[in-house]
């Protein structure tokens, strides 16, 4: 499968490069690997992926289980499996960025506190 890497994906890779002080190419590769690992692991429990980056595209041969999953979703949506994979890759582009650790409480200015024993009165 050959999918186009979106502007959102490139922005996430740029942020990753800046946070990790790495080249843009290394960050693109790292973000692509993270996205594919997340997708494959969620669908097939796989922990390894092999892919190529080629002129703004991700070239990937999904496992049989992932291909079946993508094909089923593509058929339901009336689109091709590559488009479904592209959407998932784009979805996971922001994973593991520092903004990914924000909670809704962070955005409202409130703080969340953890009470390990909510029923225990000291």
**Which of the 8 DSSP states describes residue 98?**
G
Identify the CA nearest to 1 among candidates 67, 55, 49. Answer: 67
- Quick: pLDDT tens for 39-96: 999 999 999 999 999 999 999 999 999 999 999 999 999 999 999 999 999 998 877 6
pLDDT higher than 70, residue 115: no
Predicted TM-score (pTM) of this structure: 0.75
pLDDT at 84: 97
Domain positions in the chain:
2-103
């Amino acid at each position: 499968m050959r999918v186009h890497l979106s502007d959102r994906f490139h922005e996430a890779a740029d942020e990753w490069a800046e946070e990790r002080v790495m080249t843009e190419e290394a960050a693109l590769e790292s973000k692509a690997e993270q996205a594919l690992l997340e997708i494959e692991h969620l669908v097939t429990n796989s922990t390894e992926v092999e892919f190529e980056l080629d002129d703004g595209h991700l070239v990937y041969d999904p496992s049989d289980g992932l291909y079946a999953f993508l094909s089923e979703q593509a058929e339901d949506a009336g689109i091709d499996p590559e488009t479904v994979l592209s959407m998932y890759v784009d979805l996971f582009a922001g994973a593991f960025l520092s903004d990914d650790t924000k909670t809704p409480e962070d955005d409202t200015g409130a703080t969340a506190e953890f009470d390990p024993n909510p029923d225990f009165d000291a």
